[in-house]
Amino acid sequence: MGHLHIEGKVALVTGAAQGIGKEVMRSLAEHGVCVAGVDKNAEKLMKCVFELKEEGYDVHAFHADVRNSNAVNDVIERIEEICGAIDILVNVAGILRTGPIESFTNEDWEETFSVNTAGVFHVSRAVSRLMIPRQSGAIVTVSSNAADVPRMFMSAYAASKAASTMFTKCLALELAPHHIRCNIVSPGSTDTEMQTAMWADEDGANKVIAGTLEEYRLGIPLQKIAKPCDIADAVLFLVSEQSRHVTMHDLRVDGGATLGA
């Protein structure tokens, strides 16, 4: 990628211990960004950060649960003390609970929204408070193509992602006068632990690519599942100077699985 102009900036990435968050942390670090990775799984996060440090990257691990607004406020204060002013925020932390609605539990519903929606709110609110006086910043929320297309057995996930997508657009509108851009990246099926956990057997990837009529799910026109780096590349574009006039945009990275809906 050409002139991103993000070298030397400070980024906060939530859900940095695995999957898309881990890849976003690496991609930013590779482009000379000081990255503060946040995750509630301290052990896994430390391992990722240690590996990146060994490669010479400027990355730091911060343990916090995005569901807890006080913990979020505290960790952001620590990040600014240690790493400097946050220029970039990437909200990746998310969970998936699946099941038919009639037997879906209160706990699974509440847990899904507490991470996927409230978590995005807590972190975005705390970071935007700091960005506003500085009159600059870029925020990206990693949502899902399920935010726009109904999915069987994924009601809580789809609804929580739809909420965080619209929240991010509203945030973008409010922060626009302060020269802060907010955008969304909406992946489809991506090769992460969250995805493979849904597969019944080693043929899971092929089934996702082919689609299934019973679940009203189209296949993937590009005939492949995304890699985490495909999502990270979209994030890099949206936090960089290459997208300096882009805000409130929802960039779908799903190989055409939702036919651009």
Looking at residue 103, its pLDDT comes to 98
pLDDT band at 1 (very low <50, low <70, confident <90, very high): very low
pLDDT digits (tens, 9 = 90+) for 125-173: 999 999 999 999 999 999 999 999 999 999 999 999 999 999 999 999 9
pLDDT band at 202 (very low <50, low <70, confident <90, very high): low
Q: Which residues are catalytic?
A: 157
pLDDT of amino acid 193 = 73
Q: What is the pLDDT of residue 74?
A: 98
The region of weakest confidence among 139-143, 166-170, 196-200, 218-222 is 196-200
- The pLDDT mean for the chain works out to 94
> What span, in angstroms and rounded, lies between the C-alpha atoms of 119 and 143?
12
- Measured between alpha carbons, how far is 141 from 244 in angstroms, rounded to an integer? 17
Task: State percent of the chain over pLDDT 90.
Answer: 86
Burial of 54 (0-12, 13-18, 19+ CB in 10 A): exposed
Domains of the chain: 10-190+227-246 (3.40.50.720)
Assess whether pLDDT exceeds 60 at residue 200: yes
Percent of the chain surpassing pLDDT 70: 95
The 10s digit of each residue's pLDDT in 48-100 is: 999 999 999 999 999 999 999 999 999 999 999 999 999 999 999 999 999 99
